Structures are given as C-alpha cells and as structure tokens.
Chain A
Amino acid sequence: MQTEIKHVHKSYSPTRLAFMRLLRHHLALFGLFLVVAVSLAVVIVPFFYGDSPKLTRVWLGARSPGFTHPDCLSKNIFIIGEEVETSPSLSDTEKLIYQTKNFSRQEIRITTRRGKVNTIMLTDGARHIEELDTSTLKGDLFRSNDDGTAGVRLEQAFVLKKNAAPPRGLFEKGSRVLMMLLIKADDEVTQNIVTLNNSIVTSITVEQSNNKISSEDLIIKGRDVISVISDGEERSVTHLLGTDKLGRDLFIRILYGGRISLLVGIVATLVSIVIGLSYGAVSGYFGGMVDSVMMRAVDVLYGLPFIFLVILLMVLFDRSLILFFVALGLVQWLTVARIVRGQILSLRESEFVEAAKMSGASARKIIFSHLRPHTIGPVIVYTTLTIPLIILEESFLAYIGLGITNTSDSLGSLVEQGVRMLGDAGENWWLLLCPALTMIFILFGMNCLGDGLRDSFDPKRAL
C-alpha cells in the first residue's frame, strides 16, 4: 500500500545546514558584521580619502583627534615652469594664496637644584650657558605648554644666573623645571600668490606690507602657513583620529595597517590550509605506516618552537611580504594537518566511504571528493580562528623588530607604537586607543564568527 508522503524536506548538504544554523546565532552574526565592515572599510575608504599613510608633516607632531590645520605640506615648492609640489588636493586650482608669517622658535629650558638655578639650556645643540638676561633676547618669551605649544607670555624681563636663586614666581610652585619658548615672528602676514595652469606654476608673487615681488621660485615651509586659499576658498585638513609623532594622519594609517594585517592573516592562513589539508588528508587516508611517519614528522616540527623558526626565516631571507605569508603559514599548517587527519581517520571507516570504495572509486577521488566536504567545516572554523592568531603573531614579530618592513606599518606595529608613546598622564592616548580598538574589532569579530561557525557545523548543537 502506498502511503502519502507529506512534507518531504529537501536534503541539505552539511554546509547548507550549518549556514542555516549560523543565521540564528546572534553573536556570530555580529562578528560577521564587524569583520565585513572593517574589511570593506580598509579596502575601499583609502581610495577616497586621499593622503598617503606615509605623508609626514613633521612640524605638527602628535595631535589629538579632530585637529585641523591649513592644507599644506612640510615644504611647498613652487618653481615656474614645473609642476607644483604641494598638497595633492590643491593641484586642480588656478590661483593659490598662502598666507604666511615667518617665525622661528627656540626652546629654553631651566632647571633648579635645591632652590638654585642649576642648568640654563638652549635646547638646539644642547647649549648650556651660565647666564641668561632675557632683555637681550630677540623675540617674545612664552611659557611652554605640555604639548609644546606657546602658553602664557612672559612680559617682564629677568636675569638667571647659575647657582643663584631664580626670580620669585618664575617657577611654578614645587616645580624644578621651566620650559620656555622664544618666538620671533614677523609682524605682518605675507601673501604668497601662485598661479597654476594644469598643475604647472605660471607665476609667483610675494606681497608684504605693500611690496609686491615676483619670483622665479618659492619655497614655503608648512609651519609658517597661517591659511591656504584656493580659488577663493579656504582649505584646511582635519585629522579624524589625530596624528602621530611625524604628523601622519592616524586614520589613514589604521586603514592601511588593517589592510596589511588582514592580508597577512588571510594569505598565511590560506597557505597553512593548502599545505595542511593535503598533508593531513594523505596521512589520514592511508593510515598505518604512512600515517605514523607523517605524524612523527609533525611532532618534530612541533618540537621546533615556532618563534625560533620564524626568527630564523626572517633572518635568513629578505623580509618581504611573501616571506611573511610563507613563514607564518608554515607554522600553523601543523594544526590543520592534525585536524584534517583526525577527521579523515574517523570518517574513513564510515559507510559512505565503504560504498565509494566498493563502487570502485580511486583513492584520490575518494579523498578529494568524498571526504573533503566533511572536513570543510572544521577547516572553515579553523580559518576564522587562525587569522586572529596570525595577526597577533605578526604583532609579536613587530615588537621584537622582525616585523614587516618597507611598507606602511601593520596594525600590530601601530599598536606597539601607541603603547610606547603613551605618557604617564595619558598623553598621546589616541595613538594607542584607535589602533587597539580596530584590532579588537577585527579579532573580536573573527572569533565570534568562528565560534558561531563551529557551533553551526556541529550537528549535536541544539540552538
């Protein structure tokens, strides 16, 4: 008698089933979102953002997030007949006006010992002098703020002599050190007018106190610039996440750093998978003596501590990106091999392999088409959990000085720099917080995703 069969569920492949389970795992989805968001950001945003991660504006120094300054470079070079050398975003203009004030800055540092003046130093060249009479100084004297900018102006002239007590009130209460800035600035603002035609400089005029001078060439120092006006519009640059010690934009450096870290993570993991999968599959499938020997070899390599192997590789070969992929991948493949081998060993005895064998399929076909789908699961999980490991390992290498070189710094490198620059009172906090948060997002995302995937691929999981 025929019974009606209702609601025949389509037979899903294990991967499909896992995927469906994944969709119900909220934390994993959040992780996936993070990973995708950051990956898209690091890949796409740099195309729109402009500045190169290597572009330095040394006179700025480390500035906190949101810092704005006129759009110019350290040196803005204008030579008639040649292409203009200034901020790339200005190259389309026809008329550029740079308002500048020449100024020079000299740092003076005074210390006391037991109430008497101990050292008087002009910091450039570390020149120590015995006596300082401020009335002889040309320029204005200011106290120096903690971030190096000019603070309160010191109006009264005074004299400091070594081993004599300093004037009252000069030193702040309880402080033994006084940092001052001697600033000499022009009174007038100079207007530097440059006309361009298709980025080629056609004329240069310098105006100061109603004097107009034409010039064949002009070089403007970034720190002298007060404002930049391009075709009537004032142009400035805002650093979203601040700058580092060389005045480089932190946001773009994090994007490029993320690119490199992700690239290394992904490719190294792929390398390890390719090697490990093949090795483990062969070992697991053939079993017996072959398996024994191959696994003992793995033991040998496990015994060689990873760090040492990587250091040796870094030291023996040119430290290019490719070497990183290979070296870091070479270390991890052992784990894949073991996982795959384990899976294959347990699956080997299962029914469908028996069936395949009986139907005459060759060993190779069995390995690659029947067993592989079932190992995909653990391998995918492994991938998402290994990429974070590799990113951390690269950070470690950067810490000991064997990191990626000759490219923009990786994320791990940025975090390391942030830790080193962090002051006692939290100075330069953004240099640590921003790269660290980015790294947390990526790794957190990957790990959550990995957890979710692992749960999804496990048929015993009841969600």
Chain B
Amino acid sequence: MAWLCLFNTADVMAEGVPGNVPNSVPGWKAAYVPEGEVWKYTEQHFTFNNGTDPETLDPHLMTGLPEMRLAEALFEGLVTYDPSDLTPRPGVAESWDVSDGGLIYTFHLREDAKWSDGKAVTAHDFLSSWKRSLNPVNRYINLFFPIAGAENYSESKLTDFNEVGIRVKDSHTIEVVLHAPCPYFLDLVAFPTYYPVRVELIEKFNEKWTRPENIVGNGPFVLKEWSPREQIVFEKNPHYWDRDFVKLETVTVLPISDLNTAYKLFQDDKLHWMPALPVARIEELKRNPDYYVYPMLGTYFYRFNVTKLPFDDVRVRKAFCLATDRVEICNELLKGGEQPSSHFCPPVAGYKPVEGLKHDIVAARNLLAAAGYGKDKKALPKLEIIYNTSEGHKMIAEAISQQWKQNLGIDMGTRNMEWKVYLDNQNNLDYSISRSSWIGDYADPFTFFSIFRTDDGNNRTGWTCREYDELLDSVSVTLDRKERNKIFNELERLLVEQECPVLPIYDYVNKGLIKESVLGWEANIRDVHPLKYIWRE
C-alpha cells in the first residue's frame, strides 16, 4: 500500500541499530533501571483498570487498545516500542539490517528468546505466525501489505505463501522483502498483528488456546488467571529472555466500566492506574495530585453530510465553522486540557498545522445570509447533531448547538444514538451533522488526511474533491519531509479552510490517574505503556 512508503529512510535506519553489547543495558533503557534498593522492599504488584474485558487475547484478531495492552504483556514481536518516544527498539530481534533502497529487512533473532514453556523462539515461529495472521479474518491484515506479495495473497490472487516476501534464512534469521521502500515498516512490525504465536497449539486447542492453562507466549508475563469480567492476572514469565530487567512480579487487570466505582477503588489504593476518568467530575479530579493529562494523537470533530441540504452548500458549512467557539468548549466546559483546534491533524512528526477558520460570528452570519438562509429568507430544514452515547459527547453537542442558536439563530436538535445505530447512520450518510473522532495509527499526518480520499470507507461525509485526491497521491511518492509537510498543509487548507466537510473541535488529550508509587510509566502520544518497564517504589 503506497501510503506507507513515506519518509526519509535515513531517519529510521539510524534508530534501528541498538548498542553493541547485548548484556549491558543500552542508553535508552537505562532510565528504566531503578536507582537504589528501595524498589526491592516494595511489593512489585501493579493493578490497573482496563475499562472492559478483552474481546480476545489472540493478537491476530484483536482490534482495540485495551486488548493490545494485554497482548503486549503476553507476547513480544521482533520489534518493540520505546516507552517514551515510540521509536522501534529491539524485541525478539536483537538487531536488524536494512538493505540499500530499504527493500530488504533482515532480522537477527536473539538466541536466548524462549516461549513460556521453555522452547526457543525461532524464525520458523514467525513465519508460521505471519502466515496465520495474513488471513482475511484479521482486521489489521493491511499492515502486511508493504511486504511483497502479501496483498495479493490476502485476496487469493496468489495462492502459494512461499511466494510472499518472507524468508527464513536459518533458525534465528528471518528476511522480509518489501515491494517498495517503506521506512515506516519497523513501526508496523511492532504491532500485535506481527506477534509470534504457537500455531500448532492453536490448532490443537482452537479458540480455547488463550485460556490460562493452554496459552503459551513469549512476552515478559504469562497469563495466570482469566476470570471473565472479573479480573485478569499476569505473572512474571520465568523463561523470558529479559526477565532480569522486568521488575513487576504480578499484574492484575480489572475490567471496570463504571468509572466512579473505579475511582473509589483508586482512592482505596486498590488500583494504581486509571486510563479513563469519570469526566463529569473533572474539576474534582484535577485537584487530585495523581491526575495527569498529556496530548494524544487524535482529533475530535464533527462531520457534515455534504450530500444533503443545507450542508451541500460550502458557505453554510463555513458559517457553522466560524460560529463555533472552541475555546469556550475546551476551557470552560471540558477543562481537561484539551487543545481547541481549527485544524484537523494535530502537530506530529514535525508537522505544523494550518490556522483554520477563526471564530468570527459576524462573518458567520453574513455567510449564512449569503447562502440564502436566515430571517426573511429560506428556513433551514430541521437539523440534528448525532453522537454515540456518552456523557462527554452529549455535553459538547448540547453546548455547541446552543452556541449556534445564539450566534446564528438556528435551532438544532441533539440526538444520542446507540453505537451500532450511530455507525450505521454515518455509513449510510443518514445524518446532518455527526460527532466523530479519529485516532492516529502511526505518527505521521498521512494517517489523518488519508481518510478523506474520495473512496475511502472512513470518509463518511460524501465529500469528494479531485484536487484533494491528487494531492494525496503526490504525497505518497514524495520522500522529503519538508516537501511532504508543505503538501500536507495544502491538504489541510482544502479540508478546514476552503471546503470544510468537517468541523474540527479539539486535539485529543489523554487523561487519567496514576499513583505516585508507579515508575517507568511514560506519557506518549499513542498511550502505549508496556508493563515490562514499570515498577513500584
């Protein structure tokens, strides 16, 4: 898939080769080695609230962040993420080489990597796992597509897996051939889709292979207990190659969806980390010293249905954008540190977003009048903001609809919809304005702009623009970062200043609570916190 082949190859290559001596702790890891002995006198047990029971523990079938947090503990891929800046770091592969031109990646697996039943992790394990993962039931199958032949194999245009660009050189060397240079490839290899699994055990146990008594993984922890909807318990994996580095002995994962209850547990010291908060009590929570908030790679916005009146008229869309006071929403309503934004893509990887349309009520009214709506003119059809059930979305929708009432004189309804119905309505373009959000999959603006291509399934606004599509195509083949950012700026200008099929509201932040005693937990824009690095003091 062309979109993946983006930046300067040089950037990523430099990061990919770690320190020379496998036994000493490389520089980037030194921060996660506890100073002193205090930690040895603290019970190394960590409990956190995952918010929901995982849909599955099979890394090739999972789709959500709560599941991926757990997979990260039970399995390890060739490459892992640096906990603070998300750079690819050695996992099962202790080093890798990239050929000139970035087409061939050779991963050298460490000799001491073992499964939790003592068997060694070999390159064959990865081959068979990836073969299993390259299966249409896997929703993230597209992460394999940079590999030569993978896309064709998935569509059954290619039937012999041996022709896909994955080759086992020997028991601890695996070579991957891409069909085009893709410097972002290492990021993908760290995804759960690329984790190794014991295929023969899966065939033996079928969907019961993830039960504690059956599951075998190669990660820093093993699954000790899975009481559905009650708790999940991990224990340190004694066969893990880096076991001396892992400090936590046990981890308990709770699936509490009532966040008020979770907060009570947190105050009772029964919970050490809450990644989600009861937002209605934000004022109270901010005064809790354990509260944290960090920018996150995501954007909260409203979609316009450009195929229906009145939003088929760009002037009307612009009027609504101009009439929205985002600063009020973020600073006076949400008060959680959200960054009000009139741009679509948050600043990421050196990209500087455009200004967007500034809040200007008079201009908004003029535009609306120019489009022929308002007093003594056409009346607007009955409009509604739809959103999926959530107290936060409700608050924002009600506040914004009132803003439009005061600023534009328009009466808008707000309708909450059950999740599946909401998705359905969006997909069928059966709405006027819909609340939405987009979380970036990887740290590059392309993940934000690509969804508004004409035929993209995530577009859901009915908006098509040839210029936009052409710009998207051109950015895929541009490698120079400065050039690319320039094109991204043009894309963004089209999106939020000229055509406005979307109304950006704010850049996401990550809010939560974490106890003082927890260390090794770093904030990053993708909210990835591998348990391997965490300890308590």
Contact = CB atoms under 8 A, between A and B. Distances in A.
Per the CB under 8 Å rule, do A and B touch in the complex?
yes
A58 interface: yes
A79 B416 contact: no
B361 A219 contact: yes
B332 interface: yes
B278 interface: yes
Nearest to A315: B418
Interface residues of B, number: 57
A146 B287 contact: yes
B343 to A, nearest CB: 13
A58 B399 CA distance: 7
Given A58-B399, A423-B284, A75 B361 contact: yes
B399 A246 contact: yes
Interface stretch (A14-22, A356-364, A385-393, A399-407): A399-407
Contact of B280 (A77, A126, A146, A420): A420
Contact of A77 (B288, B293, B402, B407): B407
B414 A406 contact: yes
Interface in A111-151: 111-114, 119, 121, 123-126, 128, 146-148
Contact of A126 (B293, B402, B405): B293
A424 interface: yes
Contacts of B284: 146, 423-424, 427
Interface core residue of B280, B288, B329, B418 (most chain A CB under 10 Å): B280
A421 B333 CA distance: 14
Interface core residue of A112, A315, A401 (most chain B CB under 10 Å): A401
Given A148-B283, A245-B280, A421-B280, A124 B413 contact: no
B328 A58 contact: yes
B409 A85 contact: yes
Interface string B321-332: 000010011111
A74 B403 contact: yes
Interface in B105-146: none
B423 to A, nearest CB: 12
A113 B289 CA distance: 9
A59 B330 CA distance: 11
B337 A126 contact: yes
B415 A406 contact: yes
A147 B328 CA distance: 18
B213 interface: no
B281 interface: yes
A114 B515 CA distance: 12
A179 B286 contact: yes
B293 A123 contact: yes
Given A125-B339, A402-B418, A176 B516 contact: yes
Contacts of B288: 177
A368 B509 CA distance: 65
Contacts of A179: 286-287
B415 A405 contact: yes
Contacts of A121: 293, 337
Nearest to A55: B402
A188 B333 CA distance: 28
B469 interface: no
A207 interface: no
Contacts of A114: 516
Interface core residue of B281, B294, B413 (most chain A CB under 10 Å): B281
Given A114-B516, A421-B281, A219 B362 contact: yes
A126 B421 contact: no
Interface string A14-33: 00000000000000000000
Nearest to A59: B332
Nearest to B279: A420
B370 interface: no
A126 B295 contact: yes
Nearest to A423: B284
Interface in B256-294: 260, 267, 278, 280-281, 283-284, 286-289, 291-294
Interface string A238-262: 0000000110000000000000000
Interface string B354-374: 000000011001000000000
B270 to A, nearest CB: 16
Interface in A142-191: 146-148, 175-177, 179
A234 interface: no
Interface in B282-323: 283-284, 286-289, 291-295
Interface of B: 260, 267, 278, 280-281, 283-284, 286-289, 291-295, 325, 328-333, 335-340, 361-362, 365, 375, 384, 389, 391, 395, 398-399, 401-403, 405-407, 409, 413-418, 420-421, 507, 509, 516
Interface of A: 54-56, 58-59, 61, 73-75, 77, 79, 83, 85, 105, 107, 109, 111-114, 119, 121, 123-126, 128, 146-148, 175-177, 179, 217, 219, 223, 245-246, 314-315, 319, 401-402, 405-406, 417, 420-421, 423-424, 427
17 contacts: A54-B405, A55-B402, A56-B402, A58-B329, A75-B361, A79-B365, A85-B407, A105-B331, A112-B289, A123-B337, A126-B295, A147-B283, A176-B289, A246-B398, A315-B420, A319-B417, A401-B418
Task: Give the top 4 A-B pairs by smallest Cβ distance, nearest first.
Answer: A401-B389, A176-B289, A126-B337, A125-B339
Given A54-B401, A58-B332, A124-B330, 11 more contacts: A58-B399, A123-B336, A126-B295, A126-B337, A146-B283, A148-B335, A217-B362, A219-B361, A219-B362, A246-B398, A402-B389
